Amino acid sequence: MSFEPFAMERWQSTWENRVRYNISESGVHPLSVAELLALSGGSLEQIAAVRLGYPQSNGTEPLRSAIAALYPGATPEHVLVTNGSAEANFCVCWRFLDPGDRAAIVLPTYMQTWGLARTFGAAIAPIWLHEDAGWQPDPSEIDAAIGPGTKLVIVTNPNNPTGAVLSADAMDRIARRVDAVGAWLLADEVYQGAERIGSTTPSFWGRAERVIVTNGLSKAYGLPGLRIGWCVAPPSLAEELWARKDYTTIGPSVASDLLATQALSPSVRPRILERTRSILKANWPVLERWFQSLGGEFTHGASEAGAICYARYRSAINSSALAERLRRDHSVLVVPGDQFGMDHYIRFGFGPPAPDLEAALERFASALRALHD
């Protein structure tokens, strides 16, 4: 087995807590424990009383029930609680991909699954999203990539890094091809609920015969520090994935399980998602005005979901070199496009508090002026 380093995660985890302004994140400014408890009606005393023993390793019954309620026809037996959606994706790729297997992946994407596929020795058939088509795939390329012998098809929807949402036609075509070739579909839906425009993104759950959905509280819910994610899959497969989790983190923290159950309760969940959407709607004009002030330096689409915008720039500098200058000279962190296999793009995160976003963008503008001078 050869190991594929996860370039973006190493870049972020190295620097995100060591810069003044972090606009590399794809989620909104996180909630505090006190803010979450204020929304849920819980108390700090309740958290303080939690005994720090081993948890129910696949997630408690109340939490799995709250998650199952989000997916028509699912029960707690369909749900495996994981440490973030990243662990969910890892367990699925570990279960399905062996050397020589064929995996079709919609690109660009959060490169964890791409790196795992390469690490496990799979052959990757890309399905590229096209900027000139509003970051939608070409139907003929879907058909070609999801060919006979495909073991796993991987989709992130809403998409990271583009913030685009697949059209209903594209979702249906992917699902039909998955069924036609007998593949499994891994749908990473961690940005579902963080829509800036439009209604909640439809899930792939139930759209094909063999679907696994991964999701979590890090992005749309603004609760990344809880490290709560999940898989939703047929019960027998959920059991298999749980067996693999026995080799990784065993289970979630008991305090996180309790807080996640509160966050997903029917009375609290809509309020958390409304907070997220209000941040996106308030901050998007800040980013748009900044783009407009730069006289055509950036070309970008309208991000539909997630606190992310994927913008192409016209300067000649390599994207990682530009990102390093921003970090080193201006204490601003962004994600360079070549970490998605696409140079001359930057992924902007526009979920911080508005004053921080404005200050970070002003420093970015200063960096561009210095570059051009």
Q: What is the pTM of this model?
A: 0.97
Q: Using CA atoms, how far apart are residues 30 and 26, in angstroms rounded to an integer?
A: 11
Q: What is residue 23's DSSP assignment?
A: -
Looking at 3.90.1150.10, 3.40.50.300, 3.40.250.10, 3.30.1600.10, the CATH number of the domain 7-32+270-372 comes to 3.90.1150.10
Sheet strands (E) in 37-108? 79-82, 102-107
For the record, the structure tokens of 296 come out as: 């055509």
For 51-268, CATH gives 3.40.640.10
pLDDT digits (tens, 9 = 90+) for 296-324: 999 998 899 999 999 999 999 999 999 99
Structure confidence at residue 302 (pLDDT) = 85
Assign 373 a pLDDT band (cuts: 50, 70, 90). confident
Assign 239 a pLDDT band (cuts: 50, 70, 90). very high
Q: Is the pLDDT of residue 85 over 80?
A: yes
pLDDT digits (tens, 9 = 90+) for 144-164: 999 999 999 999 999 999 999
Residues 6+ apart with CB under 8 A from 45: none
Structure confidence at residue 91 (pLDDT) = 98
Q: Is the pLDDT of residue 7 over 80?
A: yes
Assign 219 a pLDDT band (cuts: 50, 70, 90). very high
Structure confidence at residue 56 (pLDDT) = 95
Average pLDDT over every residue of 32-60: 96
Domain regions of the chain by residue span: 7-32+270-372, 51-268
Structure confidence at residue 278 (pLDDT) = 97
SS3 278: helix
Q: Using CA atoms, how far apart are residues 25 and 30, in angstroms rounded to an integer?
A: 11
Q: How far, CA to CA in Å, does 98 sit from each of 125, 148, 235?
A: 15, 17, 22
Structure confidence at residue 1 (pLDDT) = 72
